[in-house]
Amino acid sequence: MKTNYVYIVECSDHTYYTGWTTNLERRIKAHNEGNGAKYTKVRRPVKLIYFEEYVCKKQALKREYAIKQLTRKQKELLINKNL
């Protein structure tokens, strides 16, 4: 069974991007090569700063949506909680 990841990267302009993938290393590499999301393409390089693992894709996608609804301050609290 594949592991599903929800992740947050920090872009070069210090903004955050949240996404979902089954291969975290490959996805971060894609973002940094300009083959990731449109948002990160012009904000490279990105740095992985947070991730969560899920067995169920549906749960991962729900969590990705929930994180995207958070304010920047709430995302920072989430990120820092896990340092």
Bridge partners (DSSP) listed for residue 36: none
DSSP 12: T
pLDDT tens track for 20-53: 999 999 999 999 999 999 999 999 999 999 999 9
Quote the CA–CA distance of 22 and 41 in Å, as a whole number.
20
Per-residue model confidence (pLDDT) at position 14: 97
What CATH number does the domain located at 4-81 have? Answer: 3.40.1440.10
Helix (H) or strand (E) holding 64: helix 57-68
**What token pair was written down for 25?**
């290393």
- Amino acid type, 10: E
CA atoms within 13 A on the CB side of 56: 4
Q: What are the extents of the domains in the chain?
A: 4-81
